[in-house]
Amino acid sequence: MVSIKSEREIDLMRISGAYTSRVLDLVGREIREGMTTKQLDTLAEEFIRDNGGVPSFLHYAPKGDPDATPYPATLCVSINEEVVHGIPSARRVIRDGDIVSVDCGVYMGGYHGDSARTFLVGNVPAAVRKLVDVTKECLYKGIEQAVAGNRLHDISAAVETHARSHGYSVIENMVGHGIGSELHEEPPVPNYGRKHTGMRLREGMALAIEPMIAMGRSRNAVCRNAGWVAVTEDGKPSAHWEHTIIVRKDAAEIMTVTPEGV
C-alpha cells in the first residue's frame, strides 16, 4: 500500500534528506585517488552519528528473506562496472579515471532520506564523463514527471527515453522505490516503461527516483558478493544518480539537495 505523507511527515523528511545530501557533499570534498572505499564509509558513518542520525543501510536486510545477508556498511560505493551496492573495503582503492557511485541513506526523526551521486576521479575518459552527465539528466527528466495527476510510468518513460536517445542501456532489474518511515516502501519506480501507465501520482507520495544507466548493452545487473554487489553483464561502466522527492501539484519537491549539492 502506498503511503501519502502528511505535511508534518514531510517536514521530518526534509531533515533526513538534508543530512543525506550533506553526507554526499562531504564525500565529494574528500574523495580522491588513493583512498579506500572503507575510508569514505568511515567518514560518512561518523558524520551521520555525530549529527544524531543512524545509517539507513547498515545491517539492512530485505524483508521476507530470512536467508539474506545484512548489508555491512553505511554507504554503497560502486566503481565503474559496479551498478549499485558496492560494499566498502579497506582493500578497494580508488584509482585515477574511476567513476564512483556513492549511495547514502540517513534515518533521522523517524524517517529516511536516500540519495546517490556518481563522482569523477582524476582523468576520466570523455565518453565515460558523458555517461555520468546523461544519467544525471535522466534523474531530472524523471523528477519533472513526478507531479500529481501524472502516472508512475511517466517518470520511468522519461528516464528511459533520455538514456536511449544517447545510446545507453537502462538497468531494468534495479529500481527506485517509495520511502518514508521505512527505507523501501511501495511503489517500485522502474527506470523504463510506457507513458500514461502505472498508478496515478498523488500529492504527498514520497519516492526515491534513481536511474542506473550503462554504456554497454546490459539490461540487467548481475549480483555477486553475498548477493549485494550488482555489476553490468558485459563489464561496461554504469552511472547512478538518485534523489528522494515529494510529489506535488506543480513540481516535485526534492528532499535531498543542499546549496553545495545537486
Any idea what the CATH number is for the domain that residue 166 is in? Answer: 3.90.230.10
pLDDT at residue 260, as a whole number: 67
Residue 153 annotated in ligand binding: no
Residue 85 annotated in ligand binding: yes
Q: How many domains does the chain have?
A: 1
Residue 114 annotated in ligand binding: yes
CA distance 18 to 106: 9
Residue 185 annotated in ligand binding: no
Q: Within a domain: residue 207?
A: yes
Residue 242 annotated in ligand binding: yes
Q: Within a domain: residue 74?
A: yes
CA distance 125 to 105: 29
Q: Within a domain: residue 260?
A: no
Residue 210 annotated in ligand binding: yes
Q: Are strands 243-246 and 253-254 parallel, antiparallel or unpaired?
A: antiparallel
Local confidence band at 164 (pLDDT 50, 70, 90 cut-offs): very high
Neighbours of 54 (CB within 10 A): 16
Q: Within a domain: residue 1?
A: no
Q: Within a domain: residue 261?
A: no
Q: Within a domain: residue 19?
A: yes
pLDDT at 217 over 90: no
Q: Which domain holds residue 145?
A: 7-254
pLDDT, one tens digit per residue, over 3-40 is 999 999 999 999 999 999 999 999 999 999 999 999 99
Residue 240 annotated in ligand binding: no
Q: Cell for 9?
A: 511527515
Q: Within a domain: residue 2?
A: no
pLDDT at residue 224, as a whole number: 77
Q: Within a domain: residue 259?
A: no
